[in-house]
A = this chain, B = another copy of it.
Amino acid sequence: MPPRLLLGPGPSNAHPRVLSALGMAQVGHLDPTFITLMNEVQTLLRYAWQTDNQLTIPVSGTGSAAMEATVANGIEQGDKILIGINGYFGHRLVDMASRYGAEIATIEKAWGEVFTLDELREKLAEVRPKILALVHAETSTGARQPLEGVAQLCREYDCLLLVDTVTSLGGVPLFVDEWGIDLCYSGTQKALSCPPGLSPLTFSERAREMVANRSSKVGNWYLDMSLVGKYWGSERTYHHTAPINMNYGLREALRLIAEEGLAERWQRHQENAELFWDGLAEMGIDCHVAKEHRLPTLTTVKIPSGVDGKAVVGALRDDFNIEIAGGLGELGGKVWRVGLMGYNSRPENVARLLDAMRRVMKR
């Protein structure tokens, strides 16, 4: 495989220590040594998410699996869910929720914009949902949805707060407990710098109670957290066979976060993103998202007029071994998506990308 520098929307390159951990010889998934590792993974995940939630685990699938787990466990036939759509992943939540019989309401914004508390309040008052779902870090737009104050609204209107943190966990300030998030998921292949294959998930006590009091079985066996929680909890009841080597990798990735420190890591992501944005400005290239709502992990870069966006992506890949991506949906053909996540968020990568972009566009 070619030595690509993965600066697209994900996966990012895994840290070398993570790649080494992946290849360690296996033990059984019910081995006492693996059970110790499962505990360690959970403890480290709680730190990364800044939560004390007991149910904090990696789901045995890629990011979309944990995403579906929040919906499948949260929704019973006819339950109302209010979904914020300001990018691709809001639409995906709608599709998923529809499969579990949810009554769906949406609040929409242009791709790249975010919702204000007033807008959310108005819609909550109108819809009165059981769950409000928002995307903290929209991988399709590069926008960061502010979450301060949203949980207070949710308490006021008696609903649970579901949040997508796929492109924020480990790279962007995120406080699950302080922000009152009830159902939360992420992926391993973004700012955690672990290959795809697991998807972190955390449920608040309120969410766990809601699942425990469901009147129907969760509509999905593989993602039924009443069963999965017992496999990862003190009961250790056999459910499925956890991806052992992927968990070796994830533990290493989470140890790297603990070693660096979350605040330092967030700061590093912010600094390298700003370095990139400054470099773009020098080239006269704009970003799609207003600076105050821009994610440090994922930047949507406006393709300058007259430039063939697809050709640039291809040339960066084929001639410079750098992966970036084009836009999705509404932003297709309009932006490039550039990720500076986890291990890849380094000044030398910013310099290498800016230099390659300059060369390619000069041709």
Contacts and interface: CB of A to CB of B under 8 A. Distances in A.
A31 B62 contact: no
Please indicate which of the listed interface residues A27, A245, A248 has the most CB atoms of chain B within 10 Å of its own CB.
Answer: A245
A64 B96 contact: no
A25 interface: yes
B241 A187 contact: yes
A243 interface: yes
Interface in A194-232: 195-197, 217-223
A13 interface: yes
A344 to B, nearest CB: 11
Interface stretch (A1-9, A141-149, A301-309): A1-9
A10 interface: yes
Contacts of A8: 28
B246 A64 contact: no
A39 to B, nearest CB: 15
Contacts of A37: 1
Interface stretch (A15-23, A114-122, A258-266, A275-283): A15-23
B195 A26 contact: yes
A241 to B, nearest CB: 4
Contacts of A23: 19-20, 22-23
A159 to B, nearest CB: 22
B241 A196 contact: yes
Interface in A312-326: 317, 323, 325
A164 to B, nearest CB: 14
B19 A25 contact: yes
B1 A33 contact: yes
Interface of A: 1-4, 6, 8, 10-11, 13-14, 19-20, 22-31, 33-34, 37, 60-65, 68, 92, 95-96, 98-100, 187, 189, 195-197, 217-223, 238-246, 248-249, 317, 323, 325, 328
Given A1-B37, A4-B31, 10 more contacts: A1-B26, A4-B25, A13-B25, A14-B245, A19-B24, A22-B22, A31-B317, A64-B222, A65-B240, A92-B221
